[in-house]
């Protein structure tokens, strides 16, 4: 899963990765769930022809296919009962039918559709690797949190809601300004949930799914990448690579770029310090726009070493985890080979900084813990547990 702030170049990197995987013999699908699709553009395809031909995967070669989710077609395939009901409710407010159809595309439909396909392709063993070109960071957060939210809703709210409406519907429909949803509406939700069952396990298994965070060597982009890293960690996904894209090459000697070189070098040093031990890779700013297979292959050559397998599992251990036990917040991180005497802790802004000898680890804190300070720490079986408390 390639994720990052909008405009950092994750689509090109996802497409280049798909090409490399296909060259290695994997049956590969590159799927875009970014509403502002640019996957077809990356391959320099005629986008009008591409979108008119199919809403299904399009073969680029024998081993590589691409898919840009078309939400209008997904609504007709999977969300018909839900969409029809929402449209009927909106129409009662005086909104035109065209406006109602637009508004009936609810937040999350595209992301859930993508998850259904991931689940389906996994069950069918249709592809060896799926490369997901995710939406910008905020939407990616919603994407990864949806299975947990939906599972909770289906277990706790759905049965009660369905049974209650079944009982009151005949009476309520006589007095309500619009009809309550029919049982087909709930049957549609149940069918969708069944297509999603098990996707949570796929997403959170580090041997199956990894996250590649794409960033640029700029301070504002770095901050969002740090927040994304914390959020993915909170939701149990494993970030195995951070890719710094569009790094100004050192061959660019013009004095006009001196300040750019200086600021980019500073941000890259911060990146190395913050994300260790997760590997950080760099892709230079090319002298041309990255469009078409030939130029995507150039990106792949920079991003991956000769013969390197982009799908190889390189990180299964989460750098750190957040927990709450008996009302106390704790941070746990693996510190192999560390001893108590060489560990230091201090708070810096909304980060916990852990020093182990000459090494330093920055841990971004979630909002619920950002105001807390380290109270005490213990080292057991190579795991450092830091207990956090309110500042006095």
- What is the DSSP track for 126-160? --SEEEEEEEEHHHHHHHHHHHHHHHHHHHHTHHH
Q: Where in the chain is the domain with CATH 2.60.40.790?
A: 320-390
Q: Where in the chain is the domain with CATH 3.40.50.300?
A: 2-303
**Residues linked to residue 106 through DSSP beta bridges, in sequence order:** none
Q: What is the pLDDT along the chain (392 residues), one digit of tens a residue?
A: 999 998 999 999 999 999 999 999 999 999 998 877 889 999 999 876 666 555 689 999 999 999 998 877 888 788 888 888 888 888 888 888 888 888 888 777 888 888 889 999 999 999 999 999 988 877 777 787 788 778 888 888 888 888 888 888 888 778 777 788 888 889 888 888 888 888 888 888 999 999 999 999 999 999 889 888 877 876 778 899 999 999 999 899 889 999 999 999 999 998 988 887 789 999 999 999 999 999 999 999 999 999 899 999 998 887 778 888 888 899 988 776 677 787 888 898 888 888 877 777 788 888 888 889 998 888 888 788 999 988 77
CATH of the structural domain 2-303, one choice from 3.30.470.20, 3.40.50.300, 3.40.50.1980, 1.10.3720.10: 3.40.50.300
Query: Does the structural domain 320-390 have CATH classification 2.60.40.1180?
Result: no
For the entire predicted model, the pTM comes to: 0.82
Q: How far apart are the first and last CA of the chain?
A: 41
What number of CA atoms fall less than 13 Å from residue 286's CA on the CB side?
Answer: 17
Burial class (CB in 10 A: 0-12, 13-18, 19+), 191: exposed
């Amino acid at each position: 899963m390639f994720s990052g702030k909008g405009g950092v170049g994750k689509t090109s990197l996802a497409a280049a990765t798909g090409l490399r995987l296909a060259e290695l013999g994997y049956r590969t699908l590159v799927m875009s769930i970014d509403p502002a699709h640019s996957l077809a553009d990356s391959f320099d395809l005629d986008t009008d022809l591409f979108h008119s031909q199919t809403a299904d995967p399009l073969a680029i070669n024998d081993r590589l296919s691409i898919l840009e989710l078309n939400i209008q077609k997904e609504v007709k395939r999977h969300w018909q009962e839900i969409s029809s009901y929402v449209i009927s409710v909106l129409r009662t407010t005086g909104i035109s039918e065209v406006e109602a159809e637009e508004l009936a595309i609810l937040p999350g439909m595209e992301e859930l559709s993508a998850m259904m396909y991931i689940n389906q392709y996994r069950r069918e063993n249709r592809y060896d690797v799926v490369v997901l070109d995710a939406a910008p960071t905020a939407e990616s957060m919603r994407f990864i949190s949806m299975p947990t939210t939906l599972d909770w809703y289906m277990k706790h709210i759905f049965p009660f809601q369905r049974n209650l409406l079944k009982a009151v519907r005949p009476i309520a429909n006589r007095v309500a300004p619009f009809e309550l949803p029919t049982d087909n509406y709930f049957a549609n939700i149940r069918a969708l949930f069944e297509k999603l069952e098990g996707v949570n396990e796929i997403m959170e298994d580090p041997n199956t799914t990894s996250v590649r965070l794409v960033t640029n060597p700029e301070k504002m982009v770095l901050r969002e990448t740090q927040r994304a890293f914390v959020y993915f960690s909170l939701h149990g996904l494993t970030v195995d690579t951070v890719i710094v894209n569009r790094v100004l090459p050192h061959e660019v000697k013009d004095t006009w770029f001196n300040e750019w070189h200086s600021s980019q070098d500073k941000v890259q040093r911060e990146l190395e310090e913050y994300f260790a031990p997760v590997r950080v890779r760099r892709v230079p700013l090319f002298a041309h726009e990255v469009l078409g297979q030939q130029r995507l292959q150039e990106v792949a050559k920079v991003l991956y070493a000769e013969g390197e397998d982009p799908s190889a599992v390189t990180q299964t251990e989460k750098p750190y985890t957040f927990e709450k036990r008996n009302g106390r917040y704790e941070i746990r991180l693996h510190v192999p080979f560390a001893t108590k005497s060489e560990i230091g802790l201090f708070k810096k802004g909304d980060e916990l900084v852990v020093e182990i000898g000459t090494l330093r680890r920055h841990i971004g804190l979630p909002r619920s813990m950002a105001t807390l300070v380290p109270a005490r720490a213990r080292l057991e079986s190579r795991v450092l547990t830091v207990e956090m408390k309110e500042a006095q």
